[in-house]
């Protein structure tokens, strides 16, 4: 039995994802495909276009055999911790043979060389990095240039800065970090770019699809998404991100400063600027724009704001579990195999999990997932989603 995993957001599921599934089934001859997906918030710190339960149904309808949730503490983290969290869970499932990811370049050997460098950080590389940081470069730019200097290859900068390549490097780094036997496999992205804002073929970026949805270009959406996925997308409410403005302001006013400053992976100088911005703007977008700078990207800002709202602290890490959101009916034996092989707890019912003998860190992480779902229910005004982690049935898609 050969099982391939995918790390994804499916925000929303589109034909590019369908292409990836077909390549896995055709080229790898995989018996099963498992997708580990972000919950209700993305790696950029923004709410997903629709909730995790309906994105799970999209994936299952399109051929994914099992969907598991990447815990919120990892799903909303920087690329390094996003990848490390996903790989840690997939490795401990103890049933995954390969990890397949899309990339702007499929040069797996180059991915390995860069990931090994970043994992080991030899002294020469550290000197380059520190010199660039002292010169005023942001950390991502300094790291990119330091890698180029280490390999004496300026042309690497484009490879390193491509969004999917960034994650690919982190996936390989995490696989090495955990000494995982999972085999990495890269697939060339076809005819579209992660940042494209326009649908110009049947393969479009998630950004372009969200933009088309915003201006109600249904015909374009129908060209870029599987029919059932589009139907699910059009039938549901979308979140209002600006509702987060009042929530983050209240959190800053009501919480001890020591608590805010202890939020995981949020720069102290950014928090200083955030306190200084209180009362200066009236929307969440304008707050993020005010805090964005050469040092802090907009993604860093949005991630930081969300982590402050959710109260994500370092003590919530290292508490892995497998939260199964859904499975295809024809793949039920995959769930049995997971129960037999997994090194960490399996959750199909959040209520049962919170009453069981989980570690404090596992419960803290799970409770953050539950809080994130309830926060999302406020943003899209759908009361059905409140406590949906307890109330929604485990999804079994007919197949």
Q: For residues 48 and 40, is the Cβ–Cβ distance under 8 A? A: yes
Q: Is the pLDDT of residue 182 over 90?
A: yes
Q: Residue 200 pLDDT more than 70?
A: no
Give 313: exposed, middle or buried? Use CB within 10 Å, 0-12, 13-18, 19+: middle
pLDDT tens-place string over residues 300-337: 999 999 999 999 988 767 789 999 999 999 999 999 99
The neighbouring-strand residues paired with 183 are 98
Task: Tell me the DSSP string of 34-96.
Answer: EEEEE-SB-TTS-B-SS-HHHHHHHHHHTT-SEEEEEPHHHHTS-HHHHHHHHHHHHHHHS--
**Segment among 186-200, 225-239, 275-289, 315-329 with least mean pLDDT:** 186-200
Report the run of H or E that residue 102 belongs to, with start and end: strand 98-103
Per-residue model confidence as pLDDT tens digits over 90-146: 999 999 999 999 888 878 999 999 999 999 999 999 999 999 999 888 888 899 999
- pLDDT at res. 190: 62
**Whether pLDDT at 203 is above 80:** no
Q: Is 250 exposed, middle or buried (0-12, 13-18, 19+ CB in 10 A)?
A: exposed
How many CB atoms neighbour CB 181 within 10 A?
Answer: 11
Mean pLDDT estimate for the chain: 92
Task: Look at residues 280, 279, 262 and name the one whose alpha carbon lies nearest to residue 271.
Answer: 262
In this structure, of 74-78, 153-157, 173-177, the range with the lowest mean pLDDT score is: 153-157
């Amino acid at each position: 039995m050969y099982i391939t995993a995918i790390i994804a957001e499916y925000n929303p599921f589109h034909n590019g994802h369908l292409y990836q599934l077909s390549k896995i089934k055709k080229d790898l001859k995989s018996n099963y495909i498992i997708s580990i997906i972000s919950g209700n918030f993305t790696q950029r710190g923004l709410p997903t276009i629709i909730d995790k339960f309906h994105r799970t149904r999209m994936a299952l309808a399109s051929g994914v055999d099992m969907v598991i949730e990447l815990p919120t503490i990892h799903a909303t983290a920087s690329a390094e911790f996003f990848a490390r969290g996903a790989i840690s869970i997939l490795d401990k499932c103890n049933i995954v043979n390969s990890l397949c990811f899309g990339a702007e370049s499929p040069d797996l050997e180059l991915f390995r060389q860069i990931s090994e460098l970043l994992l080991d950080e030899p002294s020469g590389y550290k000197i380059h990095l520190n010199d660039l940081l002292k010169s005023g470069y942001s950390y991502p730019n300094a790291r990119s240039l330091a890698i180029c200097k280490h390999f004496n290859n300026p042309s690497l900068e484009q490879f390193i800065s491509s969004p999917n390549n960034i994650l690919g490097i982190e996936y390989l780094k995490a696989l090495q970090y955990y000494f995982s036997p999972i085999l990495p496999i890269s697939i060339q992205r076809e005819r579209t770019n992660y940042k494209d804002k326009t649908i110009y073929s049947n393969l479009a970026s998630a950004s372009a699809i969200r933009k088309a949805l915003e201006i109600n270009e249904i015909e374009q959406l129908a060209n870029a998404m599987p029919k059932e996925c589009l139907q699910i997308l059009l039938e549901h409410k979308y979140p209002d991100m600006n509702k987060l403005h009042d929530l983050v302001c209240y959190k800053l006013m009501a919480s001890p400063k020591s608590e805010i400053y202890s939020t995981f992976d949020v720069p102290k100088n950014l928090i200083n600027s955030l306190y200084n911005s209180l009362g200066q703007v009236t929307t969440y977008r304008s707050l993020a724009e005010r805090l964005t700078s050469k040092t802090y990207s907009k993604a860093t800002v949005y991630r930081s704001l969300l982590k402050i709202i959710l109260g994500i602290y370092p003590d919530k890490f290292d508490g892995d579990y497998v939260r199964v959101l859904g499975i295809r009916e024809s793949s039920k034996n995959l769930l049995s195999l997971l129960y037999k092989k997994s090194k960490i707890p399996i959750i199909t019912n959040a209520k049962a999990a919170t009453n069981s003998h989980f570690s404090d860190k596992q419960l803290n992480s799970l409770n953050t997932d539950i809080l994130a779902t309830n926060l999302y229910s406020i943003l899209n005004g759908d009361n059905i989603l409140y406590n949906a982690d307890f109330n929604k049935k485990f999804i079994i898609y007919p197949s």
